[in-house]
Amino acid sequence: MNSLFKETKIKNMGLKNRVVMPPMCMYCAGEDGVVTDWHILHYASRAVGGTALLIVEATGICPEGRISSNDLGLWQDDQIAGMKKLTDAVHANGAKIAVQLNHAGRKCTAEGMDVEAPSAIPFDGESVTPRAMTKADIEETIQQFRQAAERAEKAGFDMVEIHGAHGYLLSEFLSPLTNQRTDEYGGSRENRVRLLGQVIDAVKEVWPEEKPLCVRVSAEDYQEGGNMAEDLAEMLNLVKDKGIDLVDVSTGGVVPAVPNAVKGYQIPHGEKIKKLTGLPVIAGGLVTDPQEAEEIIFSGRADFVYIGRELLRNPYWPLQAANELGVDMAWPKQYERAKPRHK
């Protein structure tokens, strides 16, 4: 078998294998949201290690859209140059790179921000109570996603991922646990997915048609009355024709409920989203073993596997996984002397 290391293509984005590094916040930008040397070193080293697609951490579309005061941002033109250095470094080392555009909603902890959400419900007893968004706030947010996507294109990203997971703003609109609105943005699944659809429309106005667009979702809220994979699939089906090319499937984060995080625990959610929507998916969840990753792709349970914490521990996981699976993967020429030789 050699499914994990088969080349593939999504629109014009060619990928040398099916290994994806998911967005993982580094919390090391300054208040200006600009890329640092750490970001360039961090992402470029995973490109050297053989990962095909790197998704840059949650990047704020506005100052109040940050999760923390140390998040990256694309809310102003001054942030483009740093992002361009980052994409250039990743491309120079053989990988493709996406950016995850995000509004943190009620989970914003950046200092001095006006925290907003679909409804005035705090995340937990220690969190601030957010302000319920007005129609004007919603329209402004849609345009902020559009403007951030335009900057992402100028910075040279190969794909944009719209963050609709983990209890951040778009995820808050999608979940009945956090969305108690009585207008056209609340209530039914059709209404709760309306904002995501409008964001996709706005992004597509500026994002090149030949480049893919991805949406990340939480396919399980882990609390009674919350969303299940079937709910997310139905909502995705309502907006997928607007231009969703790929779904990045995660779970949780909407409320403080803690999932039973065992190896591969989110793969069934990705499998269900794939089956019910017909869209290609990225799935994962504590996947560390090359044989496990290979089986996920070979069996058709997902189209790509995201490797998160294991890539933090070992930037060269893909090179080592290929060797373990008996795949003759090209190594960087600087490292060829260390490449294991198969008999």
List the catalytic residue out of 168, 185, 222, 316.
168
* Residue of 104, 101, 52, 110 whose CA lies nearest to 79: 101
Dihedral (CA of 213, 250, 165, 60) sign: negative
Q: Is the dihedral of CA 64, 214, 212, 188 positive or negative?
A: negative
Q: Tell me the C-alpha distance between 329 and 343, whole Å.
A: 15
- Residue 163 appears among annotated catalytic residues: yes
Catalytic residue among 39, 42, 103, 163: 163
- Cβ-Cβ contacts under 8 Å for 276 (sequence gap 6 or more): 229, 230, 233, 234, 237
- Which residue in the list 39, 103, 166, 269 is annotated as catalytic? 166
Sign of the C-alpha dihedral computed for residues 285, 290, 295 and 296 taken in this order: positive
In the residue annotation, 166 being an active-site residue is answered as yes
Decide: helix, strand or coil at residue 201. Answer: helix
Any catalytic annotation for residue 342? Answer: no
Phi/psi of residue 246, nearest 5 degrees: -160, 145
3-state secondary structure 228-240: CHHHHHHHHHHHH
Residue 257, burial from CB neighbour count under 10 angstroms (0-12, 13-18, 19+)? middle
Residues identified as active-site: 163, 166, 168
